[in-house]
Amino acid sequence: MVDQTAVLAVPYRDLAQISVGGLATGAVYALLLLGVLVVFRVSRVINFAYGQVGMVAAFGSWYLYSSRGWPAAVAVVAATALAVALSGLIELGVRRLPQGGSGLDLVVTLGVFLLLTSLAQNLIDSNTHTYLPLLTDKRTVIAGVYVNGNDVAVVVLALLAVGGFYWLLVRTSLGVSLRAAAESPAISRSAGINVGLLRTGTWAAAGVVAAVVGMITASRLSVDAFYMTAVLVKVFVAGMIGGLDRFFAPLIAAFLLGLYEAWVVYFAGASAAAPAVFLLIIVVLALMPRRFVEERREVRA
């Protein structure tokens, strides 16, 4: 007679292992989505170039320490500063566009996405490179499950960032000013609030998040001009599912998307991951089409 306990033990450990990785991947998505949400809350703009801001930080730091001989820490700080400045400059460009729902902000950020990708290819190269390990080489075993130091760090960082930004946006006077600047910029200006400075500062702060996520993702995969594209697509999927007008719902959706993707890979193979994500988009759009139409109008408003 077959020992059912022994048979079930192996799948349980496998599922636990794949779930740990999926949760960490979801934490990466949640961190990047957090920056997207913060930018959306203050300016009602979806920044399609946001992932490439992270790519600039990771690819730039890699180039500085590997090709120019800079110390790794200095290269990381310099590239992060570049990402912050770049994110702020994108906001300044978007702010000068005609208002009134023209949709030019989406076109411009998509154009910046293509521009940054092209510049990375031409100024550095089109090859794929190994990035700094950032604790990916540190492992321990807990209850038979391998736990990667990078996985633990990204989950903890995501939870701390979510809690910190929630407190900042909801519990502080700065959060009140940011909401007012987004909802009624003219009234906010008449009340003495520097709406432009608030928006640029928020986008710059989001640039720090993009840089951190870009470097973490590069350490988990590799770095080139395109590596953040697939990540950003999945971040937007989570945003669509949870709603960009909410806070916790899309972030929870990001964590669950990471788990969903990991389980699909486990049960159906790596080649099924991308089709499964797009199938999820189709299902969600079919079940909740009205909310996405309304949210699209909100973005254009």
Query: Smallest Cα–Cα separation from 91: which of 184, 195, 168?
Result: 195
Q: Is the pLDDT of residue 296 over 50?
A: no
Q: Which of 76-90, 179-193, 285-299 has the highest mean pLDDT?
A: 76-90
Contacts of 192 (CB under 8 A, 6+ apart): none
Average per-residue pLDDT in the chain?
85
Of the candidates 77, 72, 57, the residue with the CA atom closest to the CA atom of residue 216: 57
How far is Cα 5 from Cα 1, in angstroms, rounded to an integer? 12
Q: Evaluate if residue 9 carries a pLDDT over 70.
A: no
Per the model's pLDDT, the better-predicted residue between 125 and 183 turns out to be 125
Q: Residue 207 in contact with residue 83, Cβ under 8 Å?
A: yes
Percent above pLDDT 70 for the chain? 89
Report the pLDDT value the prediction gives residue 192, as an integer from 0 to 100.
73
The stretch 110-121 carries a mean pLDDT of 93
Alpha-carbon dihedral of residues 230, 235, 239, 242, nearest 10 degrees? Answer: 110
Residue 195 has pLDDT above 80, yes or no: no
With a cut of 80, say whether residue 11 has pLDDT above it: no
Nearest to 95 by CA among 43, 37, 38: 43
Q: Minimum mean pLDDT among 9-23, 28-42, 65-79: which range? A: 9-23
Inform me whether the pLDDT recorded for 273 exceeds 90.
no
Residue the block writes with tokens 């953040």: 228
Fold of the domain built from segment(s) 4-300? ABC transporter involved in vitamin B12 uptake, BtuC (1.10.3470)
Whose CA is closest to 134, among 226, 221, 23, 69?
221
